[in-house]
Amino acid sequence: NFIMMYGDHIVQNINQMSQELNLLLDGAAPMHTVMDEKAYTNPQRRLTHSKLDTWKMWHEDGLSFKEIA
């Protein structure tokens, strides 16, 4: 009875949240680019600690801008 009563609402919420988070629901795994070489910042240009940490979280850890924020 619970599924019959609330199933459509649950599925609608899952669809809405997945679209907001840009997630796929069709079972296909998102494509990830594999890089053999690590990219490094230009050593002549100094970054603040927070900018460098943010860059590492984005580039090396693969976090999204939303996750970093």
For 3-49, how does the pLDDT look when each residue is reduced to its tens digit (9 = 90+)?
788 888 888 888 888 888 887 777 655 555 555 566 665 555 676 78
Q: Distance between CA atoms of 54 and 28, rounded to whole angstroms? A: 29
Q: What is the pLDDT of residue 16?
A: 86
Give the pLDDT confidence score for residue 52 in this predicted structure. Answer: 83
pTM: 0.36
- Tokens 């924020």 correspond to what residue? 69
For residue 40, give the DSSP letter.
-
Give me the number of domains the chain comprises.
Answer: 1
The Cα–Cα gap between 69 and 60 comes to 16
Smallest Cα–Cα separation from 62: which of 44, 23, 35, 41? 35
The pLDDT value recorded for residue 11 is 86
Residues contacting 38, CB < 8 A, separation 6+: 60
Determine the structural domain holding residue 36 and report its residue range: 2-68
